[in-house]
Amino acid sequence: MGMFENKIAVVTGAGGTLCSEIAVRLAEEGAKVFLVGRTAEKLEKVAHKIAQLDAPKAEIFACDVTDKEAIARLGELVAAAGGCDYLINGAGGNNQKAMPSITKFDPRELDGTLPEGERGLYNIDTEAFESVLKINTMGTVIPMLEFAKQMAKKGSGSIVNFASMNSYCPLTRCFAYAMSKAAVTNLTQSFAAYYAPAGIRINAVAPGFMVNERSKNYLGTVEDGLTKRGEQVISHTPMGRFGQAADLVGCVKWLLNEEASGFVTGATVPVDGGFLTLGGV
């Protein structure tokens, strides 16, 4: 039997590089997985991978995780299948429009005389800023509230949220993203304390710089050459490489498994190759 035989897992952000890998590995261990994300086409590709395994059939549900009514409809489907045992809250992200292009204040941003193509903190799109805060915070809270109800009825369950190294030490230009990921770490602690009497454990992972198509564009790769920012990241990472989606899987499995981590709740575990261990000097 697999580690998660006869369990039901809901994975948000399941069309992305990291959570698609987690979803496939949970299915491989016997879990019935509900794949949740904005784009059905991406979810279908993950479901197809799972269909190649000796695993329960994955279900697809395309929605915005900040839409309470949509998440409630998803909750009904999951409840009909037996109720949620595990929730992986991986949906989230950043928005370039919410980010300045410069890394420190320039007086020219106040009078609009920055060079063409550059923008300071006073020139960003505040609606985009708010959208980043919403997807990373309420996009975590709304699924937690919905599926914690089902776990509470069972008397057990485990939730893994997605924080970030930005939760501890914000990167330059990532104001909204860092704010929201710091909030994820905090809400993981407060929700963990609240739901402990219901037998629900709530933890988080804090991924470092992980390889995906987007990261290759602005960081490069160790194998094929790094950008200037990529060189800075690698020089600050003791393990000397970027993370792979597979690097997260073991940590997530450990946090879900009651036998392995049954006395762990409210924790945020960095999975960053040691990035947070260096002070930069």
* Main-chain dihedrals φ then ψ at residue 160, nearest 5 degrees: -120, 115
Interacting residues of 217 by C-beta distance below 8 A, sequence separation 6+: none
pLDDT for position 72: 98
Residue 110 in this model has a pLDDT that exceeds 80: yes
- CB of 106 within 8 A of CB of 114? yes
pLDDT band of 1, cuts 50, 70, 90 = low
pLDDT for position 279: 74
**Helix (H/G/I), strand (E/B), else coil: 98:** helix
122 among known catalytic residues: no
Token output for 231: 């060189």
Read off the pLDDT of each residue in 150-162 and give the average, rounded to a whole number: 98
Give all domains of the chain, ordered by start, each with its CATH number: 8-100+126-208+244-277 (3.40.50.720), 213-242 (no CATH)
pLDDT for position 281: 60
pLDDT for position 152: 98
Residue 224 in this model has a pLDDT that exceeds 70: yes
Read off the pLDDT of each residue in 9-30 and give the average, rounded to a whole number: 97
pLDDT in tens, 230-241: 888 888 899 999
Please name the helix (run of DSSP H) or strand (run of DSSP E) that holds residue 206, with its range, or none: strand 200-207
Read off the pLDDT of each residue in 243-255 and give the average, rounded to a whole number: 95
Q: Which of 86, 122, 168, 177 is catalytic?
A: 177
The pTM (predicted TM-score) of the whole model is 0.95
Residue 95 in this model has a pLDDT that exceeds 90: yes
pLDDT in tens, 193-211: 999 999 999 999 999 999 8
Mean per-residue pLDDT of the chain: 94
d(C-alpha 209, C-alpha 212), whole Å: 9
Please name the helix (run of DSSP H) or strand (run of DSSP E) that holds residue 167, with its range, or none: none
pLDDT in tens, 38-72: 999 999 999 999 999 999 999 999 999 999 999 99
Question: HSE on the CB side for 176, CA within 13 Å?
Answer: 24
pLDDT for position 148: 98
Report CA dihedral (152, 5, 20, 13) to the nearest 10 degrees.
-10
